[in-house]
Amino acid sequence: MAAWSSTSVASEMTVNGNMMHLPLTIPSLLALAASRHGKSCRAMAGAGTGTATARCGAESIGWRRRCSNWVFAVRRQGSELVASGRGDVRNRAAAQRQWQGDQVATARTLRRRADPSAFDRRQHRRSGSVKTIQISKYGRPGEVIDLVDVAPPDRPGPGEVIIAMTLAPIHPADLLLARGFYGVRPKLPAVLGGEGVGRVLQAGDGVALKRGDRVLVPNRYPCWAEQIKIPATGLFACPPDVPDDQLALVSVNPLTAMLMLDESRLTPGRCFIQNAANSGVGRAVIMIARAKGLRSVNLVRRQELIPKLKSIGADIVLLEGPNLKQRLAAEAGAVAIDAAFDGVAGESTAQLVACLAKGGTLTSYAGVSNQPFSLSPTEMIFRDINLRGFWLVDWLTRTAPEIVAERLQSLVEMTRQGTIRSEVAVDYAVEDFAAAIAHAQKGEGKILLRFGTRHAA
């Protein structure tokens, strides 16, 4: 066996943008690896050692190729990359011809683009694993939710994309699912997460999105993972002037608020009442209702929330408790309330119904009290009160992706204009998922999981 001698190694290579003028020898690989730096790279050969070293500070790439019984390899040695080739000297010419045929493919594989984070993700995929947050059994969230390394997604097929996740919120529904109390029980092990924002990493044939586009991940796709592969139907590139933490919270609470208001068929000037007014859905209801010209009555449990909600457009804010109907009349007079939105259940539901006008409709979308509600049959019968439930997952299941995309695009535009805005308490790196879950269970604001570098508008 022989190694490349110093005379067979070029002494210098030039990298100019994406165009590389290289001799077809082992140092070509080093120069290709250095190309992301957009500058020249000097390769040096150690006589008798059969190695060439590029002093370019490039990341470790780990590469090995066999050409005509010659093995080409790249490894990291300290702060340098070392390329070497060994084989039968009689086959060197054939090996070099095969190396020439591989040069284009090698360049495509190793050339770094301007986005270093994109390169880092490609490296992570080659490393053989990505991080996901999942459950393998149902139980208390702090005990059953785990951070697991899994194989990265396969190459996207036609109409599919691979998304590198950036941010994803922790919703009460995620914790209910972990407990096994949600409306669906996925096959275990199951990745969690109901919405988020990320960047397109790879796109399959027929997909208009391009690498680097920021996209929302709709609620029907679990997304607590560094990378996910999903259908591209209904996905769209988000504008650059909306920060990631706002985009990450568009697809559940604001969409729920918009749909409940639309389905209530309230016309401008009409009035509704809601509890849980300081929740993510409640705040979105206030802001979207204000844009629609609707009047809102909002119930909270703490006095200090009253000016806070009025500052985002709430018309009337009252404390939950006894004599609500009388207190409302003293505040607003003989206002007719046509719709109620219930996110609490328990005793609060009866208070909402008591405030509804004859023929009014109560929509139940959550039950944070974990209590059943009981209603007087006389209220239901003699005042013709209607009860209905709303579950976003059900709406998404029966609605065409193109229609979902239209609604989400309108919400992104409202977010861009400042019409709606979500409050974020803090974000946690994915490695700190346990602290994030514990924080989320305290109910102290919206908690985000961070999988990549955030984009701030």
Residue 97 to residue 122: CA distance in whole angstroms: 28
Q: How far apart are CA 104 and CA 94, in angstroms?
A: 17
DSSP state of 218: -
Q: Is 182 a catalytic residue?
A: yes
Q: Is 39 helix (H, G, I), strand (E, B) or coil?
A: coil
Q: What is d(CA 136, CA 139) in angstroms, rounded to the nearest whole number?
A: 10
CA–CA dist 354, 314 (Å, integer)? 21
Which of 266, 270, 248 is CA-nearest to residue 258?
266
The DSSP secondary-structure symbol of 357 reads P
Q: What angle do CA 406, 218, 239 make, to 5 degrees?
A: 60
Catalytic residue among 182, 221, 365, 428: 182
C-alpha distances (whole Å) from 153 to each of 128, 162, 163, 226, 441 are: 10, 7, 10, 10, 31
Cα-atom radius of gyration of the chain, to the nearest Å? 29
Distance CA 172, CA 310 (A): 25
Distance CA 194, CA 412 (A): 17
Q: Are 100 and 109 in contact (CB under 8 A)?
A: no
The dihedral formed by the CA atoms of 88, 90, 96 and 102, expressed in degrees to the nearest 10: -60
Closest alpha carbon to 342 in 446, 260, 243, 430: 260
Could you list the active site residues?
182
